Amino acid sequence: MTFLKNIIGLIFRGLGLALKYIFLTISSPVWLPFWLIAYLVEHIAFVRNALIATDLYLPFKNMERTPLRFALTVFAIFIAFLIYGALTAFDNAMNAGVDLAADDRLVTVNKINFTQTLPIAYAQKVTAIEGVDSLVHMNWFGGYYKDPREQVITFAVDQTKLLEVYGDDMLLDETHHKNWLRNQQGLLVGELVAKKYGWKVGDRIPLNSNIFSKMDGASVWDFVIEGVYSGKFKQADTNGVYFHYKYFNEALAFGSNQIGWLGIKTTDPSINEKVIKAIDDMFVNSPFETETVPEKAFNKSFIARMGDIGLIVTSSVSAAFFIILVIVGFSMALAIRERTNEIGVMKTLGFTSRRIFKMVLMESMMLACLGGTVGLAASSFVIKQVTSSPQFPLAGLMLNGEIIMQAIILMVFLGLITGIVPAINALRLNIITALSRR
């Protein structure tokens, strides 16, 4: 019986060791940099002396006393900041259209719903309104390339006015622009779309529509790529494809002389409200009443139709950080409790309570900053891998300075919150109590 118990004990001990080393191997990208730093600290005198002089040496050494606990704690922080970096960058990319919307641009749609059309005659009438600088009418084409699952964001537009309204956001070679204006079958393609499909200037591209068909019953429209445009800003969306409204309108089997919406540029943002009222009042009580809003508000409402992404991101990040607060706080409290006798000895040797308080707090801060930094670096790597894939053409997906600064603030906050209670306990600890505790 005893022999059997020993065998079972050895099996469980072996499984425990195996799980331990498996986890250490998986989490090696998190803790390995720390051990490399620790090795350098021990073998470079001036670094070690600098840490001793700033009271960082003991907190640094304390972190590596229990490798498994250290690895688990840092790994938990690493996961939290990996989630934070990736989700926040995604949220920013989704809202880039709102952030980059021009103050002097308006959007006019059908009052019933933006999917309902307007007569093309509205474009000429709105152009004549005081305060309207330029205007472009646009239609959603519902395009796809070869496979209905390969949706292409395609618009039929007034080609002569597109850059007058949206030229501040687009970079396009002048020669390519002129060629596109001349060729009725010309296609103007965003660089993200061109990269995704390997398109280049001069290629002949067939695009299908899941909404419109030609008079001959075909749903395939033939185009020639005359230009590839890029964005003036990193966050600019270059997923759009534009072609001549005339080519679209003349070939339609149904719905001709109709437009989807109007993109309007005003002479000054301060008169936007006046222009909005003039446009909507012009068509009040007509069969096609309009609703005109600033571009920023239109983009925001369009994103809101997909769900409250900001709320989803905030909820996910908050849940992750709450769990991390509990884990790291418990880990720090346990670590300080295990060192109660040592703290008593340090106080006996002349370490002041304030100095010990600072050292405990610094240990918590170093844990948070180490895990947070590695997690943020990992999220940056993941984002770069995702954005480099042509199958994921999301403009503006990146870790910008604002996200990094917020992450640093979160690291400091996490370090303070998880370390403050153990640090206060160490500060208040009586020498006799510390030395007598077992």
Q: Are 321 and 80 in contact (CB under 8 A)?
A: yes
Q: Which of 64-68, 75-79, 128-132, 361-365 is modeled with the greatest confidence?
A: 128-132
Report the SS3 class of residue 139: strand
Strand partners, 171: 230
What's the confidence (pLDDT) of residue 32? 64
Map out the domains of the chain as residue ranges: 31-96+308-436, 117-287
Contact partners, residue 403, CB within 8 Å, separation at least 6: 85, 88, 89, 92
Top pLDDT among 85 and 45 is at: 85
Strand partners, 42: none
Q: Would the pTM of this model clear 0.85, i.e. be above it? A: no
Q: Which helix (H) or strand (E) holds 110?
A: strand 105-110
Rounded to a whole number of angstroms, the CA Rg of the chain reads 31
CB atoms within 10 A of CB 263: 23
Top pLDDT among 306 and 325 is at: 325
- What DSSP assignment string belongs to 40-100? HHHH-HHHHHHHHHTT-HHHHHHHTSSHHHHHHHHHHHHHHHHHHHHHHHHHHHHTHHHHT
- Provide φ and ψ at 100, rounded to 5°: -95, -5
Could you tell me the pLDDT band of residue 302, with boundaries at 50, 70 and 90? low
Encode pLDDT of 374-420 as tens digits: 888 888 888 887 776 655 555 667 778 888 898 899 888 888 888 88
- Per cent of the chain over pLDDT 70 is 81
* Separation between Cα atoms, residue 236 and residue 233, nearest integer Å: 5
Encode pLDDT of 264-297 as tens digits: 999 998 999 999 999 999 999 899 999 998 888 7
Q: Are 292 and 280 in contact (CB under 8 A)?
A: yes
Top pLDDT among 20 and 333 is at: 333
Cα separation values, 69 from 73, 327, 340, Å: 6, 11, 18
What's the confidence (pLDDT) of residue 2? 65
Q: Give the residue from 211, 223, 214 showing the smallest Cα distance to 260.
A: 211
* Separation between Cα atoms, residue 225 and residue 50, nearest integer Å: 62
Could you tell me the pLDDT band of residue 74, with boundaries at 50, 70 and 90? confident
**Mean pLDDT score of the chain:** 81
Q: Give the residue from 94, 91, 101, 89 showing the smallest Cα distance to 310.
A: 91
CB atoms within 10 A of CB 327: 17
Share in percent of the chain as helix, strand, coil (round to 5)? 60, 15, 25
Encode pLDDT of 363-384 as tens digits: 888 888 888 888 888 888 888 8
Could you tell me the pLDDT band of residue 340, with boundaries at 50, 70 and 90? confident
DSSP classification of residue 340: H
Say whether pLDDT at 186 is over 90: yes
